[in-house]
Amino acid sequence: MKRSFYHYVMTLRGPNTKITETKLANEIGNDIQFPKQSSDYHEISSYLEIEGHYVENMDDFDVLWEKYTENNR
């Protein structure tokens, strides 16, 4: 069974917020309204564009999404 994007991102959380992926993972983990069960790119990217005030650059999300799809085959 494929895991959700949120579940994958939670594996990247940590104290080193200098790493872009870790910083974004920590912010997503703190977002109580994040679509936790979703594995749909459009749903998650739309949510982050509208509600993800913590995302400085959507390219960071795209890189993370690419890694998610590679690890979730």
Q: CA–CA separation, 46 vs 16, rounded Å?
A: 27
Long-range contacts at 5-12 (CB < 8 A, ≥ 24 apart): 5/38, 5/39, 5/44, 5/65, 5/68, 6/34, 6/35, 6/36, 6/37, 6/38, 7/36, 8/68, 8/71, 8/72, 9/64, 9/68, 12/64
pLDDT at 17: 78
For the chain, the structural domain boundaries read 5-71
pLDDT, residue 2, reads: 82
Look up the pTM and report it.
Answer: 0.89
Q: What is the pLDDT of residues 26-60, one digit of tens each?
A: 999 999 999 999 999 999 999 999 998 988 889 99
CATH superfamily of domain region 5-71: YozE SAM-like (1.10.150.260)
